[in-house]
Amino acid sequence: MKPNKKIKINQLVNILKISKSFIFLDEITAFKKNKKINAKYKIKKNNWFFKSHFINEPVMPGTLLTEAMLQATATLIYLSEKKLYERTFINRVTTNFYKKINFYADLKIVSNILSKNNGFIEAKSEIFLKKKKICSGNFRYINSKQFEISND
């Protein structure tokens, strides 16, 4: 399941079309087309969100954990599609949070494609900290062409 070489943040910027400052993945460590992707994200002392979110009791916002799961899943989709990096839209998100992150740590993000049907992609993602699940999400993506509106 390992890629030929690890996919690093500069390549993720190109794949996801997101600026480096908003990518919540440091690298892709394993990839299986149309099935599964593993990613890492290192939370550092100087991460901007610790200075901004609950100043007296800083934590990583749940929305950013959700974003990390979405980015890992989108990377899996884009690397698996015939048309490389074809855009998808998030159609539905359901998340669960089990622990807060209020210290510097290494996260492991695991995303799986559950099904593909009529332009919809169902996926599940989980984030682990020291082998303990801290959050999970179920996501539905839709191919961008499904959202196109004509001027007719």
> Which pLDDT tens digit goes with each residue over 4-31?
568 888 899 988 889 998 999 999 999 9
Residue 149 has what pLDDT? Answer: 54
Predicted model pTM = 0.87
DSSP state of 1: -
CATH number of residue 91's parent domain: 3.10.129.10
Which structural domain range is residue 28 located in?
7-147
Note whether 44 and 21 are within 8 A (CB).
no
Q: Is residue 2 part of a domain?
A: no
Looking at the 3D structure of the chain, how many domains does it have?
1
The more confident residue out of 152 and 67 is 67
- Catalytic residue annotation: 53
pLDDT at 48 over 80: no
DSSP state of 55: T
